[in-house]
């Protein structure tokens, strides 16, 4: 089994081309289906460009006029009010709360100024505050009782919004004559704010009465004779006029079979053209059903978007150039990036032609303006030809900024096309140049941005990881790899060695070598969270922190690099296929070193606390990385790295993983495993190859070196420096960051 066989593009057979053509024709028919009317396009507020008369006698019930009269009848019905006894209870409770506050203030021992300040916050006037402070307990109790009586009396009658104020004004008249003027004023100030409306609306009864009023209004009939003017030129369209157009049959609500047939023929012709091109030219970038599905979706989707959008902005009677603002060029750019450049050129022409065809379905008898041939030609140029400029710029693109450049190129091409058509217009205006620039810029640049975003997220959309993503992730100056190199240099170099070891093996068995190498680079990124916990990062003879930890604690810490690595990869939005290397490169293995240390003390210890969470490798690539990771670590830790010993260690590592069942869920075959083993042995022997010991330099070499040395002269004597002044205190040296 060789990589050439695996990577050979499968030819697009006749049956596959026919199947693709039929599927694409169906999608295009759905996108082009003429569900909008072909006659008048009437919107409320439009100003008629000509006078419209009724073609027939019409008599109909006007929904808008009827609803207007019914709304007026319902609005004339006053709300139905009922007495709410809870208002009195609530206001009496509020009154009691105010009285309690005043009594607490009266009992305070603080100074009089403090009491006055607190009473003012309750809304009492200066005169009533004086009364509160001078009344004895019996007089105060009489005031409180009288206030409660007056409030209860006032709230026991029906009060609406209009009568509340008169009830407040009449409080003075119902206060007992035995109270002095100051006490009566205090009662009035306590009661007035609490007098409120005691009537509430009975919503159910009100709605019932209004519904009865609406039902009593008869439908409003509108009669139009043939030849009567429905709308005069220069008059605005209102709701009644819109109803007249529909009643007279000027606005078609049905789908006409002629339009459906036209859409079906055009869809079939476009699909046949693209399928025929695939069958004849056999593009190398399209070699699977998934590729055909992507091509069909990216061809039909912009047509559907244009179908939904263009009726909203055409005809362009105000010369805003909004019909040309769609980022349709994103689809051909994506096809070029994901599949083939030549296919994307053909798809661009087809998509643009269908967008121009859509304009023929739009109502050419619009009440406001009509769609001309120039508008159709503009659609064809902007959406069929302009994207080609961006297609060529993303050919073999290896940086995302190329997509933005492609969007700028599309914008420039679109502006040139719009400008060329503007020059032949009769009613052109200078401000049109700004509108054209805006439309071309938004459409082109947004197409580049959308294409870049869609390309980056193509893995989630189509279930694949793009080559550009992998190439960017493989750069050693990528943010995560730079962080790994800075914070965990030992782990970084280990990952590079594992990548070199695994990439060659993946290439030999037909796996994805680029994906495998990228997976190796990122499989241990979780170690950046606690780099000092791993032996490869403990430099200069540092004491390992595991000496002060139990085996269980050490194992839990070591396993955190998998859990933390997955979280870090998700936070950094690594592709799902790259993230899979982090948990799968350890599978469900034991943290053997610490498990065995723990087993020395307790042979019956539960291994679950020392087991990685998994899962086991689910693909060839992750299985290769598991074997490469263990092989590199085992050989590096060995003192004997002779070719024979390396072979034994590689075989032992692979045999151990097979016996543990770690490779059971991957797609590796026994032949693959043998090939991987031989590849590992060859690579590791090259890494740890023997070197020749150099003999000591000869006497002649030593003499030549001495003769080449520059003459060393003693430094000139200088005057001694005065001793430094002695101070009583010395400034302590600032600790470096790593010493803190």
Residues of the chain with pLDDT under 50: 1-10, 37-39, 363-370, 712, 718-719, 721, 723-740
For residue 53, what is the DSSP state? E
Chain-centroid distance, C-alpha 137:
70
Provide the pLDDT for residue 23. 94
Q: Is residue 488 part of a domain?
A: yes
Torsion of CA 312, 313, 314, 316, to 10 degrees: 160
One domain for residues 488 and 608: yes
Torsion of CA 473, 474, 477, 479, to 10 degrees: 30
Q: Is residue 386 part of a domain?
A: yes
CB atoms under 10 Å from CB of 550, counted, come to 13
Place of tokens 């203030």: 105
One domain for residues 417 and 565: no
Number of structural domains (the chain) is 3
Looking at 687, 715, 734, the residue that finishes a domain is 687
Determine how β-strand 221-224 pairs with β-strand 58-61. antiparallel
H helices then E strands: how many in the chain?
Answer: 33, 6
- Closest alpha carbon to 154 in 94, 184, 198, 100: 198
* Verdict on whether the full-model pTM lies above 0.75: no
Provide the pLDDT for residue 249. 66
Q: Domain residues for 153?
A: 81-196
End-to-end CA distance of the chain: 58
Q: How many angstroms separate the CA atoms of 303 and 271, rounded?
A: 13
One domain for residues 93 and 155: yes
- Closest alpha carbon to 379 in 314, 434, 330, 429: 314
Q: Is residue 302 part of a domain?
A: yes
What does the chain come to in residues? 740
Check: CB of residue 413 under 8 Å from CB of residue 393.
Answer: no
DSSP string, 276-330: HHHHHH--TT--SHHHHHHHHHHHHHHHHHHHHHHHHH-S-TT---GGG---TTH
CB atoms under 10 Å from CB of 738, counted, come to 5
Place of tokens 């590791």: 684
Can you say whether residue 347 is alpha, beta or left, with left for phi > 0 and alpha for psi between -120 and 50 degrees? Answer: alpha
- Closest alpha carbon to 641 in 693, 689, 692: 689
Cα torsion 40, 43, 49, 50: sign: positive
Looking at 687, 706, 732, the residue that finishes a domain is 687
Q: How many angstroms separate the CA atoms of 10 and 283, rounded?
A: 10
One domain for residues 325 and 267: yes
One domain for residues 534 and 429: no
One domain for residues 524 and 388: no
Check: CB of residue 266 under 8 Å from CB of residue 357.
Answer: yes
Phi and psi at residue 45, to the nearest 5°: 105, -15
CB atoms under 10 Å from CB of 339, counted, come to 21
One domain for residues 625 and 518: yes
Chain-centroid distance, C-alpha 521:
27
- Closest alpha carbon to 348 in 394, 399, 315: 394
Place of tokens 């740890």: 688
- Tokens standing for residue 652: 């032992």
CATH of the domain at 665: 1.10.3210
Q: Is residue 284 part of a domain?
A: yes
Provide the pLDDT for residue 460. 59
The DSSP element (H or E) to which 392 belongs, if any, is helix 386-393
One domain for residues 436 and 318: yes
Cα torsion 350, 451, 400, 456: sign: negative
One domain for residues 139 and 29: no
Q: Where are the alpha helices (DSSP H) in 399-512?
A: 401-422, 432-456, 458-462, 467-474, 479-487, 489-509
Q: How many angstroms separate the CA atoms of 663 and 622, rounded?
A: 10
One domain for residues 128 and 272: no
Q: Is residue 636 part of a domain?
A: yes
One domain for residues 333 and 287: yes
Q: Is residue 326 part of a domain?
A: yes
- Closest alpha carbon to 129 in 146, 147, 117, 139: 117
- Closest alpha carbon to 294 in 339, 355, 237: 339
Looking at 462, 485, 516, the residue that finishes a domain is 462
Chain-centroid distance, C-alpha 722:
70
Phi and psi at residue 572, to the nearest 5°: -90, 5
One domain for residues 387 and 497: no
Q: Is residue 230 part of a domain?
A: no
Check: CB of residue 672 under 8 Å from CB of residue 620.
Answer: yes
Beta-carbon contacts of residue 596 (< 8 Å; ≥ 6 apart): none
Q: How many angstroms separate the CA atoms of 86 and 63, rounded?
A: 43
Q: Is residue 235 part of a domain?
A: no
For residue 465, what is the DSSP state? -
Beta-carbon contacts of residue 597 (< 8 Å; ≥ 6 apart): 551
Beta-carbon contacts of residue 694 (< 8 Å; ≥ 6 apart): none
Q: How many angstroms separate the CA atoms of 626 and 388, rounded?
A: 45
Check: CB of residue 95 under 8 Å from CB of residue 194.
Answer: yes
Check: CB of residue 469 under 8 Å from CB of residue 397.
Answer: no
423 burial type by CB count under 10 A (0-12 exposed, 13-18 middle, 19+ buried): exposed
Cα torsion 154, 160, 164, 166: sign: negative
């Amino acid at each position: 089994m060789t990589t050439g066989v695996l990577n050979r593009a499968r030819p697009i057979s006749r049956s596959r081309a026919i199947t693709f053509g039929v599927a694409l024709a169906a999608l295009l028919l759905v996108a082009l289906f003429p569900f909008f009317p072909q006659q008048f396009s009437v919107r409320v507020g439009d100003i008629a460009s000509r006078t419209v008369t009724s073609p027939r006698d019409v008599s109909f019930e006007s929904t808008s006029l009827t609803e207007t009269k019914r709304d007026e009848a319902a609005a004339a019905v006053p709300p139905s009010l009922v007495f709410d006894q809870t208002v009195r209870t609530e206001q009496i409770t509020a009154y009691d709360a105010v009285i309690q506050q005043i009594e607490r203030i009266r009992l305070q021992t603080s100074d009089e100024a403090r009491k006055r300040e607190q009473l003012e916050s309750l809304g009492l006037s200066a005169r009533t505050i004086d009364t509160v402070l001078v009344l004895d307990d019996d007089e105060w109790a009489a005031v409180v009782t009288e206030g409660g009586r007056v409030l209860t009396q006032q709230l026991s009658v029906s009060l609406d919004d209009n009568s509340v104020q008169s009830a407040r004004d009449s409080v003075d008249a119902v206060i007992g004559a035995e109270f002095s003027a100051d006490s009566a004023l205090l009662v009035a100030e306590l009661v007035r704010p609490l007098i409120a409306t005691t009537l509430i609306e009975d919503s159910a009864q009100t709605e019932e009465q209004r519904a009865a009023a609406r039902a009593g209004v008869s439908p409003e009939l509108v009669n139009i004779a043939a030849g009567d003017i429905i709308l005069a030129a220069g008059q605005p369209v209102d709701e009644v006029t819109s109803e007249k157009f529909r009643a007279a049959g000027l606005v078609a609500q049905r789908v006409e079979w002629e339009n459906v047939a036209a859409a079906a023929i055009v869809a079939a012709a476009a699909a046949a053209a693209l399928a025929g091109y695939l069958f004849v030219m056999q593009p190398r970038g399209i070699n699977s059903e998934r590729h055909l599905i992507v091509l069909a979706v990216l061809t039909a989707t912009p047509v559907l978007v244009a179908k939904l959008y263009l009726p909203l902005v055409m005809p362009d009677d105000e010369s805003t150039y909004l019909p040309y603002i769609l980022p349709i060029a994103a689809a051909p750019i994506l096809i070029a990036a994901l599949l083939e450049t030549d296919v994307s050129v053909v798809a661009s022409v087809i998509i643009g032609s269908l967008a121009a065809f859509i304009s023929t379905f739009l109502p050419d008898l619009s009440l406001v303006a009509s769609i001309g041939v120039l508008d159709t030609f503009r659609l064809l140029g902007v959406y069929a030809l302009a994207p080609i400029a961006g297609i060529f710029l993303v050919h073999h693109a290896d940086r995302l900024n190329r997509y933005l450049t492609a969007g700028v190129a599309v914008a420039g091409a679109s502006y040139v096309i719009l400008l060329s058509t503007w020059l032949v217009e009769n009613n052109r205006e200078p401000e049109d140049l700004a509108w054209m620039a805006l439309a071309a810029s938004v459409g082109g640049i947004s197409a580049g941005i959308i294409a870049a975003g869609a390309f980056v997220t193509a893995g989630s959309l189509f279930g694949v990881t793009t080559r550009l993503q992998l190439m960017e992730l493989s750069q050693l100056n990528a943010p995560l790899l730079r962080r790994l190199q800075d914070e965990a240099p030992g782990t970084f170099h280990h990952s590079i060695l594992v990548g070199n070891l695994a990439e060659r093996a993946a290439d030999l068995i037909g796996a994805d070598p680029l994906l495998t190498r990228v997976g190796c680079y990122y499989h241990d990124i979780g170690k950046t969270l606690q780099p000092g916990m791993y032996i490869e990062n403990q430099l200069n003879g540092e004491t390992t922190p595991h000496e002060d930890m139990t085996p269980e604690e050490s194992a839990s810490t070591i396993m955190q690099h998998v859990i933390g690595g997955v979280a870090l990869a998700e936070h950094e939005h690594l592709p799902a296929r790259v993230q899979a290397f982090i948990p799968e490169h350890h599978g469900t293995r034991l943290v053997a070193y610490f498990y065995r240390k723990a087993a020395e003390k307790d042979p019956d210890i539960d291994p679950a606390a020392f087991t990685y969470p998994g899962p086991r490798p689910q693909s060839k690539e992750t299985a290769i990385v598991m074997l490469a990771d263990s092989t590199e670590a085992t050989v590096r830790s060995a003192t004997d790295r002779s070719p024979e010993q390396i072979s034994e260690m590689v075989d032992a590592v692979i045999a151990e993983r097979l016996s543990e069942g770690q490779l059971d869920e991957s797609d590796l075959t026994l032949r693959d495993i043998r090939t991987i083993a031989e590849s590992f042995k060859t690579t590791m022997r090259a890494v740890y190859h023997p070197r020749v010991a150099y003999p000591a330099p000869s006497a002649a070499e030593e003499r030549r070196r001495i003769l080449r040395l520059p003459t060393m002269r003693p430094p000139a004597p200088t005057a001694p420096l005065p001793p430094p002044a002695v101070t009583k205190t010395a400034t302590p040296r600032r600790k470096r960051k790593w010493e803190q």
